[in-house]
Amino acid sequence: MKIYRVGGAVRDKLLDYPSDENDWVVVGSSPEEMVELGYQPVGQDFPVFINTKSGEEYALARTERKSGHGYQGFAFHTAPDVSLEDDLIRRDLTINAMAEDHDGSIIDPHGGQQDLANKVLRHVSDAFTEDPLRVLRVARFAARYHHLGFSIAAETLQLMTEISASGELQHLVAERVWKETDRALCERSPDIYIQVLRDCGALALLFPEVEKLFGVAQRADYHPEVDTGIHILMSLQQAARLSDSSPIRFSVLVHDLGKGITPDHVLPSHSGHEARGLPLVKDVCDRLKVPNEHRQLAMVVTEFHLLCHKAFELKPETILKLLKAIGALKSSSRLDDFLTCCEADARGRTGFEDRDYPSSAYLRQAREIVIKTDIADLVEAGISGAEIGQQLSLRQTAALAEFKAHFSE
């Protein structure tokens, strides 16, 4: 029985890159022996065990063959005679097909170290095409290491394109698509994930609402980059600068979906795209089973981001309605997340990348004015129910009018 550190832990150690991965492969053992040694079995499809002391995963070396569609369409084989090399050759990329033994020696049968040096994401073998999830994984790794200069090998991108054309992506379960997308959105360059999916034809299949944004014109005076799809990529870049929050980055990705269905005779204007986009955002969230935290933020950002941009032009009663609609009066963090999304949108334009976004300070101060509005005298006077709510709104609106008249940026 031999134990090797494998995959991401080895890759990132050689790159000197921060990583929380630490996976292990066990060669020459059996499920029975692992249990006898105190490991806890957790794998449903193939034998994976948890070291109860460290909490890390230990998988028996295995081989696999295609037996159906999608990510789960594989038959796995584990046995004491399955070698480390047998296990490594089934992996996706050469940089993920390395192992480290107990004394720190690297086992690298597929040139992963050379590809790390050359900053290339390259598939291990033609078996790469058997698992459609690898299209998303490679796109995620491209987003993870883009800032280091990594790119996808041309032959690997070609295989990803063939997978997209094969129909296999449609067999991926929603949870797997979302999991990879969620992880990719949290990488250093989430825009690269979207660009790579588009380059290989996967974006049109998995995120058709986003794909439709590319090639759609916008008014050049507001958007010098013109193309709506490019604007989304630029906004994602800005979101990554401003926050590492997955809900924020997802909301920025989908906030302009309504522009993809703007009638041709209206272009390049996109009046009303906020309302048009709401059903599309809901469709994406329903299809991919997106968590409620992401969904709720995405919906309010889609509906109200233009109002945020025009905050200084809003009437006091409209400011109050906006703050209520986005949940800002219940939680300052909800306002902060909303404002971060809107700032990323405002900066995601050619020449606007480093501009200030004064709407943020304005609306934060407006919130403080609203939540500090005092109605103790009304309560003491015995006013209650709907009437006290009406009186509170009147006082809050009056306070906002005073604030607006004297606000200084």
In the predicted structure, residue 72 carries a pLDDT above the cut 80: no
pLDDT > 90 in the chain, percent? 77
Residue 316: is the preceding peptide bond cis (ω within 30°)?
A: no
- Tell me the Cα Rg of the chain: 26
Question: By C-alpha distance, which of 366, 183, 177 is closest to 286?
Answer: 177
Residue 127 tokens read as 């078996």
53 pLDDT more than 90: no
Length of the chain in terms of residues written: 409
| Backbone angles phi and psi of 152, in degrees to 5 | -90, 135
Query: Closest Cα to residue 189, out of 138, 141, 248?
Result: 141
Q: Which two tokens stand for residue 174?
A: 């929603």
Token representation of residue 78: 């584990």
Q: What confidence tens digit (pLDDT) does each residue in 112-140 have?
A: 999 999 999 999 998 899 899 999 999 99
Averaged pLDDT score across all residues of the chain: 92
Biggest CA-to-CA distance, the chain: 84
Cβ-contact 203, 211 below 8 angstroms: yes
Choice between 73 and 197, residue whose per-residue pLDDT is larger: 197
**Spatial CA neighbour of 52 closest among 67, 69, 34, 65:** 34
Q: How far apart are CA 201 and CA 253, in angstroms?
A: 18
Stretch 178-189: mean pLDDT, rounded? 97
218/399 Cα distance (integer angstroms): 37
Q: Which of 95, 90, 41, 93 is nearest to 62 (CA)?
A: 90
pLDDT digits (tens, 9 = 90+) for 338-369: 999 999 999 999 999 999 999 999 999 999 99
State the first-to-last Cα distance of the chain, in angstroms, to the nearest integer: 68
Token pair 């272009």 is at which residue? Answer: 267
- Give the pLDDT score at 67: 47
Q: Give CA–CA dist 214/230, Å, rounded.
A: 7
Cite the beta strand spans of 267-370 per DSSP E. Answer: none
Contact assessment for residue 134 and residue 97, using Cβ atoms and an 8 Å cutoff: no
Which among 136, 95, 85 is positioned nearest to 118, based on CA atoms?
95
Give the whole-angstrom CA distance, residue 325 versus residue 303: 10
Return the structure tokens found at 33. Answer: 């022996």
Calpha distance 227→230 (Å, rounded)? 5
Which residue bears the tokens 């009303």? 272
Average pLDDT over residues 151-160: 98
- 307-350 per-position pLDDT tens digit: 999 999 999 999 999 999 999 999 999 999 999 999 999 999 99
Q: What is the pLDDT of residue 379?
A: 75
CA-based angle 22:180:171, to the nearest 5? 120
CA-CA distances (angstroms) from residue 393 to 130, 155, 317, 335? Answer: 60, 63, 9, 19
List, for residues 222-242, the tens digit of each pLDDT value: 899 999 999 999 999 999 999
Pairing assessment for the beta strands 99-100 and 106-107 based on DSSP bridges: antiparallel
